[in-house]
Amino acid sequence: MDFGFTPADEAFRAEARAWLAAHAAPGAERRTWERTLGGAGWIGLGWPEAGYGNRTAPLTQQVVWAEEYARSAAPPRSGHIGENLLAPTLIAHGTEEQKNRFLPPVAAGEELWCQGYSEPDAGSDLAALRTAAVREGGHFRITGQKIWTSLAHEADWCFVLARTDPDSRRHHGLSFLLVPMDQPGRVEVRPIRQLTGTSDFNEVFFDGAHARVEHVVGGEGQGWRVAMSLLGFERGVSTLAQQIGFAEELARVVEAAVRTGAAGDPVVRARLVRQWAELRTMRWNALRTLGGSADPGAPSVAKLLWADWHQRLGELAVRVRGAAATAGPADWSPAAPYELDAGQHLFLFSRADTIYGGSDQVQRTIIAERVLGLPREPKGAV
């Protein structure tokens, strides 16, 4: 599908491709890689404002960068939470002091962020959170627990949604706090080991952690408004880059089906064709909705589409290999971590796709209430 790239966009594509070819060394240490990106001005292209050490680019060039990044097999990003979630939120709701303090280190790749939203007892019901923040002079003292916190073990800062009014209920009385992670004895990070053997998610415990009063974004008690605004930034150009990775995974599954003879099974062939067709449809849908803000259900529809698609691809990756999919690429030993090949990792990790980033049930509730106008789901008081 022609996205209407201009000659200037093609020049930008050539610049991005050449830079990535020269710098995107596989296996690069993630924090060093963030600094490398920041030093060349590649962080913050999508911010609506420049002047923080970033450069901005129009939407088509942001798409070019995201797709070239995915195609180059560049190292995984550790700074995307600060760049794509916190930064647009600060630009929309932060004070000039907050923007000047926090945006330049994000643009330079010097400070990494994580998101403190989900809690064990609240599940996907964010308004039921119990983490509390009590004001004491010039700071807030935070007590509570967050869970499924991506990259908390690497982060320097965490933006935390906490209840600052103890008498409030549901989405009232919440505040959006910027909390330093380097507080020994007050902030504890416990990695959560996944089926893949890796630990990208974490539990985070706050035991009297401090956040300065001037680091409340949007004003005390306005956290729900800020938090919902942030969720609107969560999906966009990155969806197109994600689909480049999906296409590469699908190509590997097709190659395995041909190699093993599974492609001779008409049921397998039909499933492979369906995966290909649905991936193309997802791309067209992403291009159609890119940059638009009028459809409140678009992000939820996109999440439902790709999560289910990716999970089915993982199942197919195992099926086309038959019994061989149950054996690892190396001999297993109780004394060493087990190893997975790409297909096995895809199958196991994709089991979480329909849960993280907003479960399928939550996405369907959003569509039902905000798009179809159905009665709101009853919530109990906290």
Closest alpha carbon to 207 in 234, 175, 184: 184
Structure tokens at 184: 């020994």
Residue 234: active-site member: yes
3-state secondary structure the chain: CCCCCCHHHHHHHHHHHHHHHHHCCCCCCHHHHHHHHHHCCCCCCCCCCCCCCCCCCCHHHHHHHHHHHHHCCCCCCCCHHHHHHHHHHHHHHCCHHHHHHHHHHHHCCCCCEEEECCECCCECCHHHCCCEEEEECCEEEEEEEECCCCCCCCCCEEEEEEECCCCCCCCCCEEEEEEECCCCCCEEEEEECCCCCCCCEEEEEEEEEEEEHHHEECCCCEHHHHHHHHHCCCCCHHHHHHHHHHHHHHHHHHHHHHHHCHHHCHHHHHHHHHHHHHHHHHHHHHHHHCCCCCCCCHHHHHHHHHHHHHHHHHHHHHHCCHHHHHCCCCCCCCCCCCCCCHHHHHHHHHHHCCCCCCCHHHHHHHHHHHHCCCCCCCCCCC
d(Cα 71, Cα 67) in Å, to the nearest integer?
6
Q: Angle CA(352)–CA(353)–CA(358) in degrees, nearest 5?
A: 100
Residue 364 has phi, psi (to 5 degrees) of: -70, -35
The residue annotated as part of the active site, out of 234, 249, 278, 339, is: 234
Q: Which residues are the active-site residues?
A: 234
